[in-house]
Structure 1
Amino acid sequence: MKKFAFLGMLTMGMVVLFASCAKVPQAAIDGAQAAVDSAKIAEAAVYVPEQLTALEDSMKSALAEVETQKSKFFANYDKAASTLTWVSANAGQVAQNAVTRKAQLKEEIVAVIAEVTASLAENKELVAKAPKGKEGKAALEAINSELSVVEATIAECQTAYDNGQYVGTIDKIKAAKDKAASIKEELTAAIDKTKKK
């Protein structure tokens, strides 16, 4: 009987020993959270939102796994630790991708603003050459109005650029570029039509 009691206590001691061996990977949790925070500081939410969402989803998944394992008698944090390692390893790349995307947008905006500005000047020269007959006068007034909108958009986009707002600005300046190109086509066609007469 003493032998069974001793074996029972020994078994219980081993169970307690093994149960206490599996500890919450707090250092990995803290490291992964710090890595995600660094990606946020690099403005990943603005420039690579899908990548940041993937990181945050993985982080949530790892934390949920930790909570699930905490409630078990024999906790195993390997799966959570693996996910946390992935988050830590990829967060730096996400931050770098955000920085790269921001730099690309800045370059692109500067280039497109220059293109639209040149196109605007060219369109103003074409307006001076355009036919000014009865129909032409109304058309030129409409075109001048559209050119004023393009000019205002350039100024607005330059201000947004100067204030560090790049994401929405690129779409706006590209729309102005398309508008300027369509005005040029219209003016060129009108001028060519007059030359043929």
Structure 2
Amino acid sequence: MFIGIIGLTSCAGVPQAEVDAANAAISGAQVAGADIYLEDEFQALNDSMAVAMASLEEQKSKFFKKYDVTIEKLNAVTEQATELTANTNEVIMSLRSEITATISEVSELVAEARTLISEAPRGKEGSTALVAIKAELDAIETSMNESNEMFQSGQLKPTMEKLSVAREKASSINTELTEVISKYKTARK
């Protein structure tokens, strides 16, 4: 009788269902984009899975196998991955909104800059500078078109990076033009 109990306890089954559930949840988080939009959290999730798998391997090597702690770790990984998937979806929605707002902001800045160009002084150096500024504005618009294509194809992070650069350039141009116009108007008085 004692030998039968030892045989049953030493042959505890590997928690394959929990392993599969954890792997599926991690895959779901990756498909959602956690590895791109929440890189650190996704890495922590993979680290937690590695710890759980190390615990599993440790128990497999023992004569008396006890998977309770391993199952808890795997269930925690599954829960963590599910939460990470939800957080990733929130980050993506927020980023989409931010991109849309930035596109509008940059468009307004470019339109404002084009209006300011018509008010800018056209002296000897002024005309050359205005041609260069117009070329920069054209480049910003090209960049915005590329950003829009990237946005439509789901490349959110690179889109936001490109738009941030465009916003910075457009804002800088507007500031420069406003200062030049202000100085010109002050000097004429």
After TM superposition, the structure 1 = structure 2 runs for residues 27-176 of structure 1, keeping only pairs within 5 Å, are 27-176=17-166
Match of 1:18 in 2: 9
Per-residue deviation at 1:55? 1.6
Aligned mates of 2:132, 2:78 — CA distance in 1? 56
Distance 1:159 1:19, change over 3 A: same
Aligned mates of 1:96, 1:13 — CA distance in 2? 47
Per-residue deviation at 1:16? 2.4
Once structures 1 and 2 are overlaid, which stretch shifts more, 62-71 or 37-46? 37-46
Per-residue deviation at 1:94? 0.7
Q: Could you tell me the percent identity over the aligned residues?
A: 40
Question: Which structure 1 segments of 5+ residues have no match?
Answer: 1-9
Aligned mates of 2:103, 2:10 — CA distance in 1? 64
CA root-mean-square deviation:
1.5
Aligned mates of 2:74, 2:141 — CA distance in 1? 50
Paired amino acid for 1:128: S
Q: State the Cα deviation string for residues 32-68 of structure 1 (Å, max 9, x = none).
A: 1121122122222222222222222211221121112
Paired amino acid for 1:173: L
Once structures 1 and 2 are overlaid, which stretch shifts more, 26-35 or 10-19? 10-19
Aligned mates of 2:17, 2:82 — CA distance in 1? 17
Moved over 6 A (4+): none
Match of 1:179 in 2: 169
Match of 1:188 in 2: 178
Aligned mates of 2:152, 2:176 — CA distance in 1? 32
With structure 1 as the length reference, what TM-score do the two structures score?
A: 0.88
Q: State the Cα deviation string for residues 52-90 of structure 1 (Å, max 9, x = none).
A: 222222112211211121111122222211110101112
Paired amino acid for 1:17: L
Q: State the Cα deviation string for residues 126-163 of structure 1 (Å, max 9, x = none).
A: 11111110121222122112111111111111111111
Aligned mates of 1:162, 1:38 — CA distance in 2? 22
Question: Which structure 2 segments of 5+ residues have no match?
Answer: none
Once structures 1 and 2 are overlaid, which stretch shifts more, 119-128 or 137-146? 137-146
Larger radius of gyration: 1
8 Å contact from structure 2 (residues 29, 81) kept in 1: yes
Once structures 1 and 2 are overlaid, which stretch shifts more, 117-126 or 138-147? 138-147
